[in-house]
Structure 1
Amino acid sequence: MSPETQAYGLWSLVIVNSAVFILFAYSFFKPRTGRDWRSFGAFSAFLVALFAEMYGFPLTIYFLSGWLQARYPGIDWFSHDAGHLLEMMFGWRVNPHFGPFHLLSFVLIGGGFWLIAGAWRVLYDAQQHRALATSGPYSYVRHPQYVGFILVMLGFLVQWPTLLTLAMFPVLVAMYVRLARAEEREAITEFGDAYRKYMAQVPGFVPSWNGLSGGSVGGPAKSDET
């Protein structure tokens, strides 16, 4: 392996990092239904594709190397740090791990996993009582676990963008939206007007300012207790 590529070809790190993050997400999400496994499997594929380029083979850098070298001379684009493309392109070239995009990625990834974990606890309790999940993260958005997955993927894209994961991201977001719509149809069938009222008060994926500022979103929680 040449010095220029010694930061890559580390397939053991690809396996270890993929396994750690997939198992970490599994411990929070705990898929049970076929729908759960499809959404979790797509998320896992995204992580494997990401780490394969981060530590295995820098496909994106190879494809863009000519343009990058011409546009940003003086950078060793096959060093590991250069894989933080946004940090390099916007001029943070000393230590990209402390750059603004890298720090933002930590916020997005951590917030996404926190949302997945918090939503699962609420959903599990609601399922045990055959009630609607409307408290905690569900009081801000109707599909917090899907929002959590999207935030984690967005965080990794900010930290280490690749052509493959950039292509996968909108496809996975569209898949999560479709899965959410299917879940809503099932919830309407099971809970009827209680869920329709919840839908009218709580947005699907993007929280409203009223909800974030402490406005009343608790109406549906009372309805599903009756």
Structure 2
Amino acid sequence: MSDTPAYGLWSLVIINSVVFIVFAASFIKLETKQDWRSLGAFSAFIVALFTEMYGFPLTIYLLSGWLGREFPGVDFWSHDAGHLLETMFGWRLEPHFGPFHLASNILIIAGFWLLASSWHVLYAAQRDHRLATIGPYARVRHPQYDAFVVIMFGFLLQWPTLVTLAMFPVLVWIYVRLAKREEEASRVEFGTAWDAYARAVPRFIPRLGRGTKAAGSHRGGTVRD
């Protein structure tokens, strides 16, 4: 691992945070409070992540005593050692090619793909004033929230910190609450069409091997998800 410290780089904190937040926002039509809240929760996670990745490694500072005892000879103030899962599970070579980092990349890419495809379908449904029931919406009712969770979990595998680990379940809870609020509004506005869709399609976790043809037949449903 490199012995060169890689912290205090606040310009990289700002640049990386802006890039990922703007990239995520480019898939979202920010019109409602729920849209802004979902992006805001994700943005808070991203800023906390890159603050420790390039700014100040709070987790390594707080755990430095334990890390030093358990993993002697590792320079935890080098950037490579900040990939804690790779270090703790013995991947001491190039952490960017370690199993956790590779899994992280797959999840992050998959999450952004799901986010893009979900909002594309939702935008078309909003424009036509109908249910979003094709693509990811044929499998789950809130694929965009699934996407945010998958992306955040991918980043946790790549660079786990105490702050982001604490934030993760709170943000998942926020997304669950936002989803339920959207469903309540949709039920009031669209009635039985929404109820039929909700019966056919699970909220977050898809039913493997089962299609949702019944959901796709409704035309008068929510323009939210």
- SS at 1:70 equivalent: helix
Residue 118 of structure 1 aligns with which residue?
A: 117
User: In the alignment, does 2:199 pair up with 1:222?
Assistant: no
TM-score, normalised with respect to structure 2: 0.94
Q: Is the 8 A contact 1:77 1:83 kept in 2?
A: yes
Number of aligned residue pairs: give it: 220
Residue 138 of structure 1 aligns with which residue?
A: 137
- SS at 1:113 equivalent: helix
- SS at 1:36 equivalent: helix
User: In the alignment, does 2:78 pair up with 1:79?
Assistant: yes
**Unmatched 5+ stretches in structure 2:** none
Quote the offset at 1:30 in angstroms: 2.9
Quote the offset at 1:34 in angstroms: 1.1
CA distance in 1, matches of 2:119, 2:69: 48
- SS at 1:223 equivalent: coil
TM-score, normalised with respect to structure 1: 0.94
- SS at 2:26 equivalent: helix
Quote the offset at 1:6 in angstroms: 2.7
- SS at 2:206 equivalent: coil
Residue 160 of structure 1 aligns with which residue?
A: 159
Q: Is the 8 A contact 2:129 2:220 kept in 1?
A: no
Q: Is the 8 A contact 1:194 1:220 kept in 2?
A: no
CA distance in 2, matches of 1:218, 1:67: 54
Query: What RMSD in Å do the two structures reach over aligned CA positions?
Result: 1.4
Listed one character per residue, the Cα deviations across residues 134-167 of structure 1 (whole Å, up to 9, x for unaligned) are: 1000011100000000001000001000000011
User: In the alignment, does 2:104 pair up with 1:109?
Assistant: no
Q: What letter matches 1:172 in structure 2?
A: L
Question: After superposition, where does 1:170-181 map in structure 2 within 5 Å?
Answer: 170-181=169-180
Residue 10 of structure 2 aligns with which residue?
A: 11
Quote the offset at 1:53 in angstroms: 0.3
CA distance in 2, matches of 1:209, 1:137: 13
CA distance in 2, matches of 1:57, 1:114: 31
Q: Is the 8 A contact 2:193 2:220 kept in 1?
A: no
CA distance in 2, matches of 1:83, 1:218: 46
CA distance in 2, matches of 1:49, 1:57: 10
Q: Is the 8 A contact 2:190 2:220 kept in 1?
A: no
